[in-house]
Structure 1
């Protein structure tokens, strides 16, 4: 009798367990708990990346891998591209793990709130010849001249440049090809520019500091090219990243993740990270609001966190696909006598440097910190426009400076002072740009399903055509031609072949 009771009890217990499991399974299917549970791995990975910023733990190594620096930098965000493909048009949000910011209690603190203290550049750019002429080291021919490094002791007397003796000595520098002026410190892109004050240039005792501000979405190949091109010239890169695309959709903080996992260790000491955590009101309906606001926030937030600025330091605002040539910025750093604001003539390319477009892109890009504060009120979008003469502080600033302010541009239509590589990605990157584009530069090609197909994008890359169906004829280019592409990309040709050699051209 007792055995029967036990069997009945056991049978009922098993039945209750089966019913409970079925009920739980049904509940899990209705909810998103399984999705949240699967998201723990990405959250754990983000935590591992954060904890591994200054040291490598076994956990962070196992989750992030051993060789992040040698992966394709643009496509480390492939996961983000796949997510955007699935979610960009159905209104779903990304998980918090994808939008993670540094833990304020972590070893590196809140990167997006840190301040940066500018230091003087003590590099000995100028040296003295045997005849005591002050010469720019890089631009001076060494053959036949015994160059003596006595820059600090004699700079105070020679750099003033007021005496006839100084002028005679300065004229004895033998300039290398591509360099000009009494000190051999004026590069070709300035010598052949429209700068109206070339006869008034004078080498500085203390170099200016250069601040280069950019917004970043997923242009990581070009970001590496910028950093390597300008690493020894720019004193601080202000890099702004948002967890929203210019269209208003959520996106992961991929640059932050790359910054924390060591990808940019070679330049991180010169990076000020700026985090835009909101999308501007009205930006979805009018994309130009969002486009302008990115530059406004970048400048105001970034410059407010820089300490030790001097009025004559230089501020330069670029898009991520605009890379100035090093020599032009070095000139701004080392010489007095140029006027402002200044633009930069850039070589134009499409999809890759192999499709060279005619003419140059001349973008008003920079000015001194004093002009940025007094005339533009620390708003970068006002700098990019060409109506500064109507700004309220313009006359006041011009009067205080004692000079007539005349805009000019580094380079010329035949002497490129930088590179503008538009839509320069692999097909997946172009897709990502299409769906991220702001809602204002019409037609917005990302709104057309057929334009988002990778087969269609590959054909555009192959022919150099545009989304409107046009197929312009571009001049033939050769990677060996002058100013074909930034040196870093050419030095790593195989790694960046997709930008340097048309991958879909029929051989």
Structure 2
């Protein structure tokens, strides 16, 4: 009887071992399949004419293969939901019909906007000003009337000095010998001996604030975004950041994130003069295809959009330097100007950096609790050496496990410590989610990727404009919940970007609830 029991136990152990062995083989097979699938996807992108292999950049750095397999990671979030949805619905993977669109005539005044290059130039804006006593003060952060001495030159003299220096790559930010920088008197919200450190930096978690120093040559700021139909927020971004950003990379596709065809509305607005006030700082990026597998798994699309935006855009920029700054945002994320300008003018901060953003829903009047803290930027040197020039890798918090991290940390000479502009109390920007009129929310529902489940656009009742208007009125969500938001007032600090408040009547639907009872 004892021998029989022992034999049974051995058989069970062998069965258990066999079961785990089969399971391991299945997992290994799925992993290999996923890797090969992504390799084919990236190979399509690498065939693009603007491949980064042609870009020689950054003090002896030469782009390696910019589209290696490990530069495009599969997002495992919501994997169970994805698998469930794939079982429930047979997704059509056939090529979607392409919307009618006409690219600019190559021989016309606009040329081929989606193929143009952009030459980065130095910013000669006189952000700092000397007083008669020799103090070097940040113009926007200094109360000149209270500062000791008067400005050593007027605005006209500044213009003359700027013209005199226009061929120079150096903007003098040094003190006159023997003078005390403490003569700068800071306005409220500004700090530091030169009054150039804004509150969103002073009260951030940056550990190297005591090591900050002014640069002689400002960095250049590159802000990259993908655009669908967030055109009002795009105006807000341009007006908020125009004085801080040197180049906006704006990517538009003739496909929605769901895979349906759509018109190139941003291109039309760009050509009809709507964005003439900022078009000299825009590099238009056109994504003319939908990634294979994106209809079934929306996370492929989500990743691919940022990858294409970054690689296509950077391959068309001339004159990049290692210390230039790359900032990647979603269209509904708007950084505050002061924080971005700080990155441009100061040395001593670490990387990568995030942004603490005030969270709003449907409009700035529904303020959500807490902040959205998103890793948003780094220097070009880190983007190339660690992230392999891939924007989607920047958005993740896995830089310390990437192959080039230790070598870049050693080369840069300082420990890489992530930090964020702003704090949960002092916002470094705004995140306005679903901030459209009802028709815009409807379009967002039907355009949404097939990955962030539940996909509310699949429910007919959720797409009704009457239902959407009620959500806006109550601040409710598509799952039927109605959170309690704290009361807000347009007069409160950081309620909304200044451009919206200065144009209140035009954008009142974003600033006050249009369906609230009087």
Match of 2:337 among 326, 329, 333: 326
Equivalent position of 1:458 in the other structure: 469
Alpha-carbon shift at residue 104 of structure 1 (Å): 2.1
Q: Is the 8 A contact 2:237 2:334 kept in 1?
A: yes
Match of 2:152 among 145, 148, 153: 148
Give ranges in structure 2 of 5+ residues lacking alignment.
1-91
Q: Is the 8 A contact 1:201 1:338 kept in 2?
A: yes
Equivalent position of 2:389 in the other structure: 378
Q: Is the 8 A contact 1:197 1:339 kept in 2?
A: yes
Match of 2:266 among 243, 251, 255: 255
Equivalent position of 1:113 in the other structure: 115
Equivalent position of 1:16 in the other structure: none
Query: Number of residues paired by the alignment?
Result: 413
Q: Is the 8 A contact 2:97 2:260 kept in 1?
A: no
* 4+ long deviations beyond 3 Å: 91-97, 149-153, 155-161
Matched, 1:202 2:213: yes
CA distance in 2, matches of 1:383, 1:272: 20
Matched, 1:219 2:221: no
Task: Quickly say closer, same or farther: Cα 1:499–1:94, change in 2 above 3 A.
Answer: farther
CA distance in 1, matches of 2:455, 2:280: 38
CA distance in 2, matches of 1:95, 1:344: 37
CA distance in 2, matches of 1:355, 1:158: 45
CA distance in 2, matches of 1:160, 1:138: 18
Q: Which digits, 9 at most, give the CA deviation of each residue in 1:299-324, with x for residues without a partner? A: 00000000011110110000000000
Q: Is the 8 A contact 1:94 1:251 kept in 2?
A: no
Q: Is the 8 A contact 1:210 1:316 kept in 2?
A: yes
RMSD between aligned residues: 2.0
Equivalent position of 2:125 in the other structure: 123
Equivalent position of 2:326 in the other structure: 315
Equivalent position of 2:33 in the other structure: none
More displaced stretch, 131-140 vs 438-447? 131-140
Q: Is the 8 A contact 2:171 2:217 kept in 1?
A: no
Match of 1:441 among 442, 452, 471: 452
Equivalent position of 1:483 in the other structure: 494
Matched, 1:180 2:191: yes
Task: Quickly say closer, same or farther: Cα 1:466–1:350, change in 2 above 3 A.
Answer: same
Equivalent position of 1:335 in the other structure: 346
Task: Quickly say closer, same or farther: Cα 1:157–1:132, change in 2 above 3 A.
Answer: farther
Equivalent position of 1:429 in the other structure: 440
Normalised to the residue count of structure 1, the TM-score between the two structures is: 0.79
CA distance in 1, matches of 2:337, 2:354: 14
Q: Which digits, 9 at most, give the CA deviation of each residue in 1:380-428, with x for residues without a partner? A: 0000000100111111111111011100000000000100000000000
CA distance in 1, matches of 2:427, 2:498: 14
CA distance in 1, matches of 2:451, 2:113: 32
- Name the SS for the 1:471 alignment partner: coil
Equivalent position of 1:365 in the other structure: 376
Matched, 1:169 2:165: no
CA distance in 2, matches of 1:256, 1:373: 29
Q: Is the 8 A contact 1:215 1:240 kept in 2?
A: yes
Task: Quickly say closer, same or farther: Cα 1:193–1:105, change in 2 above 3 A.
Answer: same
Match of 1:134 among 130, 133, 136: 136
Q: Is the 8 A contact 2:251 2:286 kept in 1?
A: yes
- Name the SS for the 1:430 alignment partner: helix
CA distance in 2, matches of 1:332, 1:293: 28
- Name the SS for the 1:355 alignment partner: strand
Q: Is the 8 A contact 2:124 2:171 kept in 1?
A: no
Task: Quickly say closer, same or farther: Cα 1:121–1:158, change in 2 above 3 A.
Answer: closer
Alpha-carbon shift at residue 102 of structure 1 (Å): 1.6
Give ranges in structure 1 of 5+ residues lacking alignment.
1-88
Task: Quickly say closer, same or farther: Cα 1:432–1:158, change in 2 above 3 A.
Answer: closer
Normalised to the residue count of structure 2, the TM-score between the two structures is: 0.77
Alpha-carbon shift at residue 108 of structure 1 (Å): 1.7
Q: Which digits, 9 at most, give the CA deviation of each residue in 1:73-92, with x for residues without a partner? A: xxxxxxxxxxxxxxxx9x99
Q: Is the 8 A contact 2:171 2:216 kept in 1?
A: no
Alpha-carbon shift at residue 107 of structure 1 (Å): 2.3
Q: Is the 8 A contact 1:355 1:464 kept in 2?
A: yes
- Name the SS for the 2:382 alignment partner: helix
- Which runs of structure 2 are paired with 1:23-422 in the superposition (5 Å)? 97=100, 99-144=101-146, 145-149=149-153, 159=173, 169-422=180-433
- Which protein shows a greater Rg? 1
Alpha-carbon shift at residue 325 of structure 1 (Å): 0.3
- Name the SS for the 1:171 alignment partner: helix
Q: Which digits, 9 at most, give the CA deviation of each residue in 1:412-471, with x for residues without a partner? A: 000001000000000000000000000000000000000000000000000000000000
Alpha-carbon shift at residue 232 of structure 1 (Å): 1.2
Q: Is the 8 A contact 2:222 2:326 kept in 1?
A: yes
Q: Is the 8 A contact 2:253 2:286 kept in 1?
A: yes
